[in-house]
A = this chain, B = another copy of it.
Amino acid sequence: MSTSTGSERRTGTETRAEILRVALRLFTEKGFEGTSTRDISSALGMTKSSLYYHFKNKEEIVASLMDERRDELDEFVEWLAAQPPAPDLLRRAVLRWVSGATPERLQLMSLAHANQPIMRRLMGSGQELRSNFDRVIDLLTGEAAGPRERLLTRMAFDTVSAALLAALGTDAGPDEIIAAARDAGAALADSLTPGG
């Protein structure tokens, strides 16, 4: 990121990143609507007004958070589109996607799922996240696939979220969650490609 390309102009990127980090923690803990701008600013030791210097409004904060996820998905779609068709492509793709999960991405996904209303509103003005995932499904199932197959394929990729969900009240750590997601993703992929 910092790419100091000669000009010493520092536009406050560090503060921005710090805000995002704190906001992500609070949003996941108390939800988007349950977290006030005051909560965020005081956790950072600043005032609300300072927050509004860095972000236009509260919604832009969570939007910035989600932009990071979108970039990762774009990268994955690019990789997938470049793969030649193969019987085990589904399995390989699922494992690649699931294995790419990091604790921070886990937190981001958890945020997205625990706050669907705001996410839906966010998608309104730039809905590329879901529809990009649609492309993943298209690439893997073909257009002739029925809704049941498409849904199951989607679930194979969503095992990270599913594992996250299942681990909610548990003392399972990020590594165990990702491991379980891997296993589940493989099992679902195998059930979809009977021949193995």
Contact = CB atoms under 8 A, between A and B. Distances in A.
A188 B184 CA distance: 7
A163 B150 CA distance: 11
Given A162-B158, A162-B165, A31 B179 contact: no
A22 interface: no
Interface stretch (A9-17, A92-100, A111-119): A111-119
A158 B165 contact: yes
Contact of A184 (B155, B169, B179, B186): B155
Given A148-B180, A184-B155, A116 B114 contact: yes
A23 to B, nearest CB: 15
Given A117-B31, A117-B34, A155 B168 contact: no
Interface in A132-158: 133-134, 147-148, 150-152, 154-155, 158
A191 interface: yes
A72 interface: no
Contacts of A31: 33, 115-118
A176 B188 contact: no
Contacts of A166: 151, 154-155, 158
A36 to B, nearest CB: 11
A183 interface: yes
A155 B168 CA distance: 11
A89 interface: no
Nearest to A130: B169
A179 B169 CA distance: 27
A147 B163 CA distance: 12
Contacts of A150: 170
Contacts of A183: 148, 152, 191
